[in-house]
Amino acid sequence: MGTATRNIRRPGSLRSGHGHLKAGAALGLSVAMLMPTAVLAQSEPEEADEAPLATVTVEATAIDPNPNAQVGVPYKARTSGDERHTRPIAETPQTITVLTRSQIEDSGYTDLKQILDSQPGITVGTGENGNAFGDRYIIRGQEARSDVFVDGLRDPGMTTRESFAIEQLEISKGPSSTFGGRGTAGGAINAITKQATIDYNFGKGSVGIGTDQFVRTTADINYSTGNSFAVRANVLYAYELVPDRGPADRERRGLATSAYYTPTDNFSITADYYGLRAHDNPDLGGYLTTDNEPVEVPTYAQAQDFQDTQVDVGTARIRYEFSPNVRLNNLTRYGSSDNGYVLTSANGRTNPRVQLGTHNGWQEVRYFANQTNLYVNAQLAGLDHELIFGAEYTDHKVLNGVYVNALDGSNRLFTGTPNCGTQFCVYDTGGNVVNGLNTLMNRRVTQGRWDQDWGVETISGYVMDTFDIGDLTVFAGLRMDKYKFNLDVQSAALAVTSYEDSDTFWNGHLGLTYKVGGGGVIYASIASSADINGGESDVGTSAGYGGFVIVGGVDVGARPERSWNYEVGTKWNIFDEKLLLTAALFQIDKSDVMEGLSGQDYTSAGTVNTGANRVRGIELEATGNITPEWSVQGGIAIMDSKVTDSFTPANIGQPLANFANNQVQFMSRYQITEDFALGGAVKYKSKRYGGQPDTGAVTGDGSRIVPAYTVLDLFAELHLTDNMELRVNVNNVTNEEYYLAVYRSGAMLYKGDARRVTGTLNISF
């Protein structure tokens, strides 16, 4: 008779430890199923010999508490963490890139901007005030710095975002206002957080050390009392010097807790808290010469420089199931985020002597949100419908201000330093780095006045439906947003000017998928978005960066900016649904763009709905397992952007700013033996032009070009015991000197991290 074998494979997670319950259950169930057959085989050997049993493989994998995970496929999620996507990702008519916790951990990246910069279709930009340090995302050429969501609710403000509490990260490409409301012209980023579960107890701790004084410790513990109550806690501490740019550094401290209570089978309550304290001494890198040559400057960050983020968020979830076909979810959140920075830049673009400058700002963000979704499965006109009726209320407030810097004039280099004037210079007259460069300015910082008080209150309602007609599936949605906007601007003379606006706008989406067999679908979709005048909370009335546009000092009633996404594609969920292949052709048309006047980018002067742009492209993605040992995640984006209309005729035909036409990312992991795995990742971005989001890039004479780059990462993982593994990451293996983005004048060129080597010991219990 045939033999039963136990073949253990664990791509991407610990073999045992907190996963022992699932592995044991799987093995026990297999043994129980085989027992009657084994007994029969012993009593009737002749028949057993004629019909031998097939080999049975039992795969023991660690428990994954993520309910959206694809079992046994560490880089692939089966479903979205947003339940309004009622079908699996492989059946959704939209490009949605999902990064699982396993993929994020293997990558070696921890901050959200590092994780997102590695993905095709996304670039990291620069900006003013609360996001001058680079926490600005651009999806398919469109601003997305205010389109970050946590568990389906907008996360306002320009904060430093960490990954320690993220279960999976979802990047929806194309306009998504039906789901997200205002904005989301190029897409949205939704972080799905770790939640308590009653299914099992588990714990995991990790300790990492590395070059440039890198240290990172985390703990993730879930405790269940039985069938009705569970708590989960995630803790973080991390510190590192910016690779090869010390004393610039980064520090993170975080705590995320979740409590789950289900007194009955059809009712549950979840309460969460998320807290993060981030303290950085940032490095703004070099600058571009007038000939577009990158110039690297010695680390000039001042000892008193800082970029601080303090986040506290509380969330309550209620879920009630009226019947198997009707359930209600309610999500309520209150959060605060205090952000501030005083930092230094180096500029020699128009001056042969490199001189230092100061940038500063602070934010106090307060927000309240409540979202209710009623899910109804009903038969209408002979078809089974998955209906969602939703209502949302949000109240977002952001107070922006400035710091007062008292500088030590005794350290200035005046006489004998040509072309440096009264500035602080990096080099002396002999071309040598000045003594005490990192304490040269000797700042004494105090918090100053507020200059912008921004707020948006919104009431929203929406309905979505999904239904099948044979092999054809229809996805549809319609959303109404009614908002009230207010902005107070305070001048240096403490004079306050107030602006108000209100409007109602509608958005929708319609998608079709058709099953073609073998795990494949073809799809087509159309979706819209709208963004309000003044939708960016950190720029006041700066028309060129998404601020509130006024003409002649008054609000003249600008219409919302409009975007439409047209997409056709195909998805193939193959190899027993272990590998998802996606190909999509898309076009985004944006109209009614509010522009700043040429040459007056920082004034409150602007034009109303005079601009338009277009982005076309193709994206290819592969996610999952090619074989049980080989996991992959990556994609290619080939795009083209163009300003199609503008108040300034010279802008027409220009590409969008901070937009890389060609982008590639591919990550691969291979389980060489049961205990040893190797992996790596490559990311490539073609050149980008600096400029403003409203009027496109500046090309030709006076252009600001961020050079193309390719970065290679490697990692290895070794199982030391059933409960312990060691992972080694080498990020930027070749120590590539590369840059993420350029300030519009070329005065700041944001530098990517140099090579970093880390080792992380993971322990499960």
Sequential DSSP letters for 129-155: GGGTTS--EEETTEE-TT-EEETTEE-
pLDDT over 50 at 172, yes or no:
yes
Q: CA 331, CA 609: separation in Å to the nearest integer?
A: 35
- Return the percentage of the chain with pLDDT > 90, whole number: 64
Confidence of residue 543 (pLDDT cuts 50, 70, 90): confident
Mean pLDDT of all residues belonging to the chain: 87
3-state class of 21 per DSSP? helix
Average pLDDT value for residue range 145-153: 92
- Cis omega before residue 247 (within 30°)? yes
Per residue in 475-488, pLDDT tens? Answer: 999 999 999 999 99
Decide if 638 contacts 675 (C-beta within 8 A).
Answer: no
Length of the chain measured in residues: 765
**Number of neighbours of residue 265 by Cβ within 10 angstroms:** 9
Task: List the structure tokens of 563.
Answer: 């975007």
- In this prediction, residue 558 carries a pLDDT of 87
Using the Cα atoms of residue 520, residue 522, residue 526 and residue 531 in order, give the sign of their dihedral: positive
pLDDT over 90 at 211, yes or no:
yes
Per residue in 13-35, pLDDT tens? Answer: 333 333 333 333 333 333 333 33
Please tell me whether the overall predicted TM-score, pTM, comes out greater than 0.85 for this model. yes
Q: CA 588, CA 527: separation in Å to the nearest integer?
A: 10
How is residue 41 annotated by DSSP? Answer: H
Confidence of residue 422 (pLDDT cuts 50, 70, 90): low
The three-state (H, E, C) secondary structure of 596-633, written as one string: ECCCCCCCCEECCCCEEEEEEEEEEEEEEEEECCEEEE
pLDDT over 70 at 127, yes or no:
no
Backbone angles phi, psi at 111, to 5 degrees: -80, 145
Q: CA 740, CA 499: separation in Å to the nearest integer?
A: 35
Decide if 643 contacts 141 (C-beta within 8 A).
Answer: no
Sequential DSSP letters for 452-464: EEEEEEEEEEEEE
Task: List the structure tokens of 49.
Answer: 């010999």
3-state class of 125 per DSSP? coil
Confidence of residue 710 (pLDDT cuts 50, 70, 90): very high
pLDDT: which is higher, 734 or 691: 734
- In this prediction, residue 420 carries a pLDDT of 66
Beta carbons within 8 Å of 310's beta carbon, 6+ residues apart = 276, 277, 278, 337, 338, 339
In the block, which residue shows the tokens 């999904």? 466
- Between CA 195 and CA 202, with CA 198 as vertex, the angle to 5 degrees is 75
pLDDT over 90 at 686, yes or no:
yes
Average pLDDT value for residue range 316-338: 97
Backbone angles phi, psi at 610, to 5 degrees: -100, -10
Task: List the structure tokens of 200.
Answer: 């099992």
Q: Point out the least confidently predicted range of 65-79, 268-282, 468-482, 593-607.
A: 593-607
Decide if 253 contacts 274 (C-beta within 8 A).
Answer: no
pLDDT over 90 at 583, yes or no:
yes
Of 277, 341, 363, which is closest to residue 312 (Cα–Cα)?
Answer: 277
Helix (H) or strand (E) holding 309: strand 306-323
Q: CA 235, CA 455: separation in Å to the nearest integer?
A: 32
- In this prediction, residue 647 carries a pLDDT of 86
Of 539, 554, 579, which is closest to residue 693 (Cα–Cα)?
Answer: 539
Q: CA 737, CA 479: separation in Å to the nearest integer?
A: 45
pLDDT: which is higher, 348 or 17: 348
Q: CA 716, CA 106: separation in Å to the nearest integer?
A: 9
Average pLDDT value for residue range 57-70: 69
> Residue 428, by phi and psi: left (phi above 0), alpha (psi -120 to 50) or beta?
beta
Confidence of residue 226 (pLDDT cuts 50, 70, 90): confident
Decide if 317 contacts 196 (C-beta within 8 A).
Answer: no
Confidence of residue 63 (pLDDT cuts 50, 70, 90): low
HSE-CB for 497 with a 13 A CA cutoff:
12
Backbone angles phi, psi at 84, to 5 degrees: -70, -15
- In this prediction, residue 626 carries a pLDDT of 98
Helix (H) or strand (E) holding 289: none
Strand 137-139's sheet: what is its strand order?
Answer: 122-124, 137-139, 142-143
Q: Which long-range contacts (CB under 8 A, 24 or more apart) does 423-430 make?
A: 423/355, 423/356, 423/357, 424/355, 424/356, 425/353, 425/354, 425/355, 425/356, 426/297, 426/298, 426/300, 426/346, 426/353, 426/354, 426/355, 426/356, 427/353, 427/354
- In this prediction, residue 603 carries a pLDDT of 53
- In this prediction, residue 79 carries a pLDDT of 96
Q: CA 208, CA 759: separation in Å to the nearest integer?
A: 5
Q: Any bridge partners for residue 671, and if so which?
A: 677
Helix (H) or strand (E) holding 480: strand 472-490
- Sort strands 187-193 and 148-150 into parallel, antiparallel or unpaired: parallel
pLDDT: which is higher, 329 or 159: 329
Q: Point out the least confidently predicted range of 310-319, 335-344, 696-705.
A: 696-705
How is residue 655 annotated by DSSP? Answer: P
Per residue in 383-413, pLDDT tens? Answer: 999 999 999 999 999 999 999 876 755 555 5
Per residue in 262-293, pLDDT tens? Answer: 999 999 999 999 999 999 998 888 888 878 88
> Residue 470, by phi and psi: left (phi above 0), alpha (psi -120 to 50) or beta?
left
Confidence of residue 352 (pLDDT cuts 50, 70, 90): low
- In this prediction, residue 701 carries a pLDDT of 60
- In this prediction, residue 145 carries a pLDDT of 83
pLDDT over 90 at 8, yes or no:
no
pLDDT: which is higher, 39 or 253: 253
Q: How far apart are the first and last CA of the chain?
A: 38
Decide if 78 contacts 88 (C-beta within 8 A).
Answer: yes
Per residue in 621-630, pLDDT tens? Answer: 999 999 999 9
> Rounded to whole angstroms, what are the CA distances from 569 to 207, 511, 586?
43, 11, 8
Decide if 48 contacts 40 (C-beta within 8 A).
Answer: yes
In the block, which residue shows the tokens 């040559």? 293
3-state class of 97 per DSSP? strand
Per residue in 634-646, pLDDT tens? Answer: 999 999 999 999 9
Q: CA 185, CA 144: separation in Å to the nearest integer?
A: 8
Q: CA 448, CA 455: separation in Å to the nearest integer?
A: 21
Average pLDDT value for residue range 493-519: 95
Decide if 618 contacts 640 (C-beta within 8 A).
Answer: no
Per residue in 712-724, pLDDT tens? Answer: 999 999 999 999 9
Biggest CA pair distance of the chain: 105
- Return the percentage of the chain with pLDDT > 70, whole number: 86
The segment with the largest mean pLDDT, out of 132-136, 511-515, 546-550, is 511-515
pLDDT over 50 at 84, yes or no:
yes
Backbone angles phi, psi at 667, to 5 degrees: -120, 135
Beta carbons within 8 Å of 495's beta carbon, 6+ residues apart = none
Task: Tell me whether residue 486 is exposed, middle or buried, using C-beta atoms within 10 angstroms of its C-beta: 0 to 12, 13 to 18, 19 or more.
Answer: middle
3-state class of 387 per DSSP? strand
Q: How many helices (H) and strands (E) does the chain have?
A: 5, 39
Decide if 198 contacts 183 (C-beta within 8 A).
Answer: no
